[in-house]
Structure 1
């Protein structure tokens, strides 16, 4: 965008004409998890306003396929809805398909292009599920064979378009740096993901004599090496990670911004909190802690794979209404929440706050970050 503005200025044109493309800037910024500090945050905010108020036809048709209301579009809508569908074009074929959709000015053409991306995304998701299942099995075998500080997996049949997201899930599951490697021609190529406290780029530097090329930053990187070097790389990389790890590093921690009573969560509080949006990398949504909570109403798992947890809580001995809680990927806490409800033991909840819109109606809900029984 800055290059386009500079060219416009050099040609004597109004550089603000480039603002019509801020929607694309917003999609790229959110999808690539760019740091939301300084100007980046402003560009994302203005781009979201473009999407909400005057979306291009290609985005409208893609949003229909993703069942997203663009009037409510936020970074999460991009990261989990629009972005994966746009990326599917490049991951499984020709990225020009997504470019053509963004440039379309005819609804019929845009609809056809959007449906094509939706089909590619469904194919990507199936590859994703298959690869994840295989990777989780490999990781269990690797970690069951003795102490490991990292997870490095290789299968020449894995699709290069999905190994990055599966590497991220390995990090979530085992909370240690993870690398997924596949094969492209005569070269093994991979995606690396890391945890707080472990600079994965520096760890790769310690293995560079085994690598053809590599690049990235603290938390994510790409790499290529000869297949015959994979076995040696697995051990060398693990040694590099071991040298940087402390016992505290392998304990996932969530930083709490403030304790909060649920009775304090009202429209005025929400209106103030929204001024800090959009949230994302380096401008994370505040995390609050509430305790002395009781579970009320049904406790259910939701989603196609039943991996999400949904329930409601309220403060004990309070006349205030209950608040809905959604925990994405937190179905593992189902038994704990049911135990709290049946035994009367209070819950302690770490959460962010989000606005949930359904059938034109909006209400605040708690986005669970962690759940535990309250300590005596």
Structure 2
């Protein structure tokens, strides 16, 4: 077992904590949690606890938004053929379902002869992003405008070809651009452009598309009320693309979850049913319940299944699509499990790989649809930047994942001489290279990572908000803390440590893997704790009866109609 480091968040200024305690009438512990999240005054707290749609930024603050709206308006008014183009992952498919769905329903009023189509590239035939096949399809079929969502910022050659062949592009992307080499699109909406002064930089691709629709509605005098129901798709993209849930994302996530819990679209409702998701939906349930299913369509077969599910308003049809996607997800799990096993064995059997600071693995037989998941699984075991490669159309195609604090995109950028193309974010990226370059790339990537990575980034860490006594945990404490949701990156579910706790009764094994214990501290009531996969590491040690420290989150457990607070263990130190 690799010991996890418990890293405590900095304690905020005592003056700020005291001020929050006084002005909002909170306990010092809750005031500390707020201050750690940048909420430092009564007005901040009011905005934080009561998100409002008025907190969304004006869409025309985004560079090129006026040009994009003008070109989209002209295309609609002139009945030009428009192709809505999106990637095959959750962000891409929700982007297409939002943009195409809104235009089809409210602008073209669901007419069968609307000059509107959507296009998702085939992961295996075309690869990531804007494809040559896609732009040729548009040119051959008389499309005059492509709106690309969640892709396009790195597609200069394809967009140049489209322009030369009479097809305009509006790019809606959120990946890092090469500011010195932007594609020749009519408009490029990407808050990460260095010349874009949009106040919030962390929108998803779906979020950028939503802002374009918002700007179009403002220009045309269309009520925002028609657009708001699409926030259930926006929150799905926010959750699954692992973007910070702060600022504008937090507002859209808050109202998106509201939509998801009160009146979700037919497709998402069917998906929730097929995933057996019960109770209130939150970010975690979207990430682990809906995300893998939507992704599975593009991983195993084609993402059209996912878009059609998200677009349909027919309940029977939705359940059929959800069943198809459920089958894809089952197939995906089998592939994910077997390939992960092969990858881990490759590392364990090779001393060079075992002692490296990075992992780069290649097997031409591996399924391209699950290599990103396999990279994440390898990091769970070995905790270092990881790239998994397979063969696709005579080239190596790969998915990269990183560890907290290490920018894998920058590391890959330093290896660009060995690559055909690459793109992505700080913690996840995609790349392609010639098969002959794999070993050169592996060596260069290892050299870059070894030079840049800090020793502490190579061991797993848990970020802890604060130490508290178990006696502080009451229903009121949990109720107020829950109002700090939606939780996610940069506003994570609070993590606590309680020291010198004692077992109350004997530890229990659940399914021989999971640990269930009751603990108490001097003067506190007993709390039930559950630790998934913790039997092997801690069961025997706890039998000795020594006091120990626990690291955990707090959640509500409902059993036979009764609700109680339960601690979800992240780690134990005896």
Give the alignment partner of residue 323 of structure 1, picking from 527, 534, 541: 527
Larger mean CA deviation between 360-369 and 83-92 belongs to 360-369
SS in 2 for 1:225: strand
Give the alignment partner of residue 416 of structure 2, picking from 178, 192, 208: 208
Deviation at 1:250, TM superposition (A): 1.9
CA distance in 2 between counterparts of 1:29 and 1:110 reads 23
Alignment CA distance shift 1:106-1:27 (3 Å): same
Alignment CA distance shift 1:38-1:344 (3 Å): same
Structure 1 unaligned residues grouped into runs of 5+: none
Alignment CA distance shift 1:191-1:301 (3 Å): farther
Tell me what 2:555 maps to. Answer: 354
Alignment CA distance shift 1:332-1:3 (3 Å): farther
Alignment CA distance shift 1:38-1:319 (3 Å): closer
Q: Is the 8 A contact 1:293 1:313 kept in 2?
A: no
Q: Is the 8 A contact 1:52 1:72 kept in 2?
A: yes
Query: What's the C-alpha RMSD, in Å, of the aligned pairs?
Result: 1.9
Alignment CA distance shift 1:357-1:44 (3 Å): farther
1:20 aligns with 2:229: yes
Q: Is the 8 A contact 1:6 1:15 kept in 2?
A: no
Give the alignment partner of residue 273 of structure 1, picking from 450, 456, 481: 481
Deviation at 1:194, TM superposition (A): 1.1
CA distance in 1 between counterparts of 2:561 and 2:256 reads 23
CA distance in 1 between counterparts of 2:232 and 2:221 reads 24
Tell me what 1:236 maps to. Answer: 444
1:75 aligns with 2:279: no
Deviation at 1:129, TM superposition (A): 0.6
Alignment CA distance shift 1:181-1:358 (3 Å): farther
1:38 aligns with 2:240: no
Deviation at 1:46, TM superposition (A): 0.8
SS in 1 for 2:272: helix
CA distance in 2 between counterparts of 1:185 and 1:361 reads 56
Q: Is the 8 A contact 1:148 1:238 kept in 2?
A: yes
Larger mean CA deviation between 268-277 and 10-19 belongs to 10-19
Deviation at 1:360, TM superposition (A): 5.0
Deviation at 1:61, TM superposition (A): 1.8
CA distance in 1 between counterparts of 2:414 and 2:241 reads 26
Structure 2 counterparts to residues 62-141 of structure 1, below 5 A: 62-69=271-278, 71-141=279-349
CA distance in 2 between counterparts of 1:194 and 1:15 reads 38
Deviation at 1:325, TM superposition (A): 2.2
CA distance in 2 between counterparts of 1:319 and 1:34 reads 38
Tell me what 1:369 maps to. Answer: 570
Task: Kindly indicate whether structure 1 or structure 2 has the higher relative contact order, using CA contacts under 8 Å at least 6 residues apart.
Answer: 2
Give the alignment partner of residue 152 of structure 1, picking from 336, 339, 360: 360
Structure 2 unaligned residues grouped into runs of 5+: 1-209
SS in 1 for 2:429: strand
In the TM superposition, what whole-angstrom CA distance separates every residue of 1:324-370 from its partner, at most 9, and x where no partner exists? 3233444442xx23322x21111211112223345554332222222
Tell me what 1:188 maps to. Answer: 396
Give the alignment partner of residue 518 of structure 2, picking from 313, 323, 340: 313
Question: Please, what TM-score do these two structures have when normalized by structure 1?
Answer: 0.91
CA distance in 2 between counterparts of 1:23 and 1:359 reads 30
Q: Is the 8 A contact 2:470 2:524 kept in 1?
A: no
Q: Is the 8 A contact 2:353 2:359 kept in 1?
A: no
CA distance in 2 between counterparts of 1:154 and 1:19 reads 44
Give the alignment partner of residue 267 of structure 2, picking from 36, 47, 58: 58
Deviation at 1:248, TM superposition (A): 2.5
Deviation at 1:251, TM superposition (A): 2.9
Give the alignment partner of residue 161 of structure 1, picking from 366, 369, 390: 369
Alignment CA distance shift 1:34-1:146 (3 Å): closer
Deviation at 1:318, TM superposition (A): 4.3
CA distance in 2 between counterparts of 1:240 and 1:293 reads 44
Tell me what 1:222 maps to. Answer: 430
SS in 1 for 2:368: coil
Q: Runs (4+) of structure 1 moved beyond 6 Å?
A: none
1:338 aligns with 2:540: yes
Tell me what 1:177 maps to. Answer: 385
Deviation at 1:55, TM superposition (A): 1.9
Q: Is the 8 A contact 1:52 1:73 kept in 2?
A: yes
CA distance in 1 between counterparts of 2:562 and 2:307 reads 34
CA distance in 2 between counterparts of 1:89 and 1:315 reads 46
Question: Please, what TM-score do these two structures have when normalized by structure 2?
Answer: 0.61
Which is greater in Rg? 2
Deviation at 1:57, TM superposition (A): 2.2
